[in-house]
Structure 1
């Protein structure tokens, strides 16, 4: 991997730097800077720097795969997330912000919280206990711990089929999808956990049920933060639980917006009743924009991730054959918030993909290439 790209991943810290730095340099009027940066500045940088189609050379693969530098980056975000939560509580409790400025700060921090779910996503696919604990800590901070169960055991199994609540249907709006995935994914996680408990011989209503822990731990964290800052302020700090819930909600909706644009309308062929073709790199939308890929740890190379879920972010590959989004994720999320614009932009691309996917010869050729 070229040094420019390797050290370019340090750009992932830029959102955090903007949120905190703009507050101290510009004051309370700049509490919305994180949102402006993520959805205004990053798309402009994507346009300036263009796309990155480079892949790690085969002779460098093992070296890049085992380079601890890339691990330090993702693990550091878990600790930075909790530091940001504490900083946000401090500013909201002790700084003289207006209600509008408080709301803007909560949303800005919520945008960063959306990226921490991406970190949990990366770590949650790793088998080590260390990685799994950090993935759970990351998801705890945004009240979305059941994601670890549903994403690995549900979404990756059923993606691009009617069984997957995190796959958007053609002509389904982002807002309808939010309801589908929030409710459906939780139900799916509960069913998966119930099945695992039955297999292990444990009752559902017991301390062995991770779903019960995942529901209670975020509440305990919110209570602990509220109690700590209430003691420091000498009065009940009601803004703290509102902040914790607000930033969690923003982060969750951003994560599910990413799911929407990654899988919009893509379907796998049903090769037998209830059985679908194997997931391959044709089954997710991708974006090759250089800057947003650095910020998102190459999440936009999503097809390779679904085809090979255990592949760490630094060695994910770009394939021209995968369906491509016209812009990076930040701009695509904004477009998804305007359904008529989204349908006008994406439906022709989806229909072109469907026409191409109808060719069995083309699919088999592509799958063999990616194997």
Structure 2
């Protein structure tokens, strides 16, 4: 990996810098800066810098994977997330703001909370105990801890099939998809956890059931924030409770919006009743816009991630053969919020993907280069 790209991953801190820096430089009037930066500035930077189709060379793979620089970046975000939540609470309680300014701060921090789920996503695919603990801490901050169960054992197993609640169907709007994935994903996590408990010989209603803890712990965290700042202020500060819930909701909906654009309409071929072809890099939408990939730790190279889930983010690859999104995630999310525009943009691309016929020999040749 070239040094320019390696240190370019420091751009992942840019949203945090914009949220906090703009507040101190411009005051409460700049609380919407995080929103403007994410959905206004980043798409412009993507257009200016173009796409990054370069992949880490095979001979450099182990060196890049073992470089602790990337671990420091990823793990630091978990602590920065909690620091930002405390800072946000402090500003809302002790710094005079209008209602509009309060809403702006909640939305900006909520967007950052959406990116912390991406960090949890990366850490949740690692097997080490320290990575798993940090993934749970990250998800605790946004009250979405069941994601760890459903994503790894549900979504990655059933992706691009009718069984996956995180795969959007053709002509399904983003708003209909939210209901599908929020309810379906939670129910799926419960089914998976019940199966694991039964296999281990534990009762569903026991302390071994992680789904129970995934409800209790976020509530306790909200109570701790509200109680702590209420004691500091000398009165009950309900704004802290509202802020905690709001940033959770915004972060969760942002994450599920990403799921929507990553898998819209793509279904694997059914090779036998209820059995689908193996997941490969042709089964997820891919985007290699340079700047937004740096900000999102290459999450947009999603095709490679689903084919090889254990591959760390810094070595995820771009493949021209994967179905390509026309823009990076920030702009695609805005377009998804306007269903007629989204369908007009994506349905022809989806039809082109479906029409692309591969013989078994061509598939073999294609997948062999992905290995």
TM range (shorter): over 0.9
Counterpart CA distance in 2 for 1:80 and 1:109 is 12
TM-score, L = length of structure 2: 0.99
Q: Which residue of 1 aligns with 2:41?
A: 41
Deviation at 1:170, TM superposition (A): 0.3
Mapped contact 1:106–1:247 kept (Cα < 8 A): yes
Counterpart CA distance in 2 for 1:286 and 1:115 is 18
Counterpart CA distance in 1 for 2:281 and 2:50 is 22
Mapped contact 1:357–1:363 kept (Cα < 8 A): no
Instruction: Identify unmatched segments of 5+ residues in structure 2.
Output: none
Deviation at 1:61, TM superposition (A): 1.0
Secondary structure, aligned partner of 1:9: helix
Q: Could you give the per-residue CA deviations for residues 255-286 of structure 1, whole angstroms, max 9, x where no partner exists?
A: 00000000000110111111110000000001
Q: Could you give the per-residue CA deviations for residues 114-169 of structure 1, whole angstroms, max 9, x where no partner exists?
A: 00000000000000000000000000000000000000000000000000000000
Q: Which residue of 1 aligns with 2:175?
A: 175
Q: Which residue of 2 aligns with 1:139?
A: 139
Instruction: Identify unmatched segments of 5+ residues in structure 1.
Output: none
Counterpart CA distance in 2 for 1:245 and 1:136 is 18
- Tell which deviates more after alignment, 349-358 or 79-88: 349-358
Q: Which residue of 2 aligns with 1:265?
A: 265
Mapped contact 1:113–1:142 kept (Cα < 8 A): yes
Counterpart CA distance in 2 for 1:205 and 1:358 is 49
Q: Which residue of 1 aligns with 2:23?
A: 23
Aligned residues: 371
Counterpart CA distance in 2 for 1:267 and 1:119 is 27
Deviation at 1:367, TM superposition (A): 1.7
Q: Which runs of 4+ in 1 moved over 4 A?
A: 357-361
Counterpart CA distance in 2 for 1:328 and 1:122 is 19
Mapped contact 1:356–1:362 kept (Cα < 8 A): no
Mapped contact 1:53–1:288 kept (Cα < 8 A): yes
Counterpart CA distance in 1 for 2:165 and 2:81 is 28
Deviation at 1:363, TM superposition (A): 2.9
Within 5 Å, which residues of 2 pair with 1:3-152? 3-152=3-152
Secondary structure, aligned partner of 1:271: strand
TM-score, L = length of structure 1: 0.99
Within 5 Å, which residues of 2 pair with 1:279-294? 279-294=279-294
Q: Which residue of 1 aligns with 2:211?
A: 211
Deviation at 1:369, TM superposition (A): 2.2
Counterpart CA distance in 1 for 2:166 and 2:360 is 26
Deviation at 1:365, TM superposition (A): 2.9
Q: Which residue of 1 aligns with 2:332?
A: 332
Deviation at 1:60, TM superposition (A): 1.0
Q: Which residue of 1 aligns with 2:242?
A: 242
Q: Could you give the per-residue CA deviations for residues 285-327 of structure 1, whole angstroms, max 9, x where no partner exists?
A: 0111000000000000001100100000011111010000000
Deviation at 1:370, TM superposition (A): 1.3
Counterpart CA distance in 1 for 2:184 and 2:157 is 15
Deviation at 1:100, TM superposition (A): 1.1
